[in-house]
Amino acid sequence: MQISINNTLTDTAAQTLQQLAEELSLPSKGVAVAVENQMVPRDEWSSHTLSQGAHVVIIKAACGG
């Protein structure tokens, strides 16, 4: 299945956000994930099913004032 992660088309075998997080080795804290511009809390990742063409945004901390 192909999805968009931060505007980059990516092939994934993940069926859920939790599986995607494992596939990407996302850290256990310091990141947030949104699907279709809706933030998905970490405790809902395992029940959140991904679909073909899903638009996923993943953010982390950056330096800033």
Partner 1 sequence: MKKLIIAGREFNSRLFLGTGKFSNNQLMAKAIEASGTEMVTVAMKRIELDDKQDDLLTHITQYSNIQLLPNTSGVRNAEEAVFAAQMAREAFGTNWLKLEIHPDPRYLLPDSVETLKATEQLVKLGFVVLPYCQADPTLCKHLEEAGAATVMPLAAPIGTNKGLRMKDFLQIIIEQSTIPVVVDAGIGAPSHAAEAMEMGADCCLVNTAIAVAGDPIQMADAFRQAVIAGRQAYEAGLGAISDSAEASSPLTAFLN
Taking the C-alpha atoms of residue 21 and residue 63, their distance in angstroms, rounded to an integer, is 23
With binding defined as CB under 8 A, does residue 39 bind partner 1?
yes
Binding-residue pattern over the window 9 to 28 for partner 1, x denoting contact by CB under 8 A: -x-------------x--x-
The HSE-up count of residue 46 (CA atoms within 13 Å, CB side) is: 1
With binding defined as CB under 8 A, does residue 31 bind partner 1?
yes
Q: Dihedral sign, CA of 24, 30, 35, 37?
A: negative
Residues interacting with partner 1, by CB under 8 A?
Answer: 5-8, 10, 24, 27, 29-34, 37, 39, 41-42, 57-65
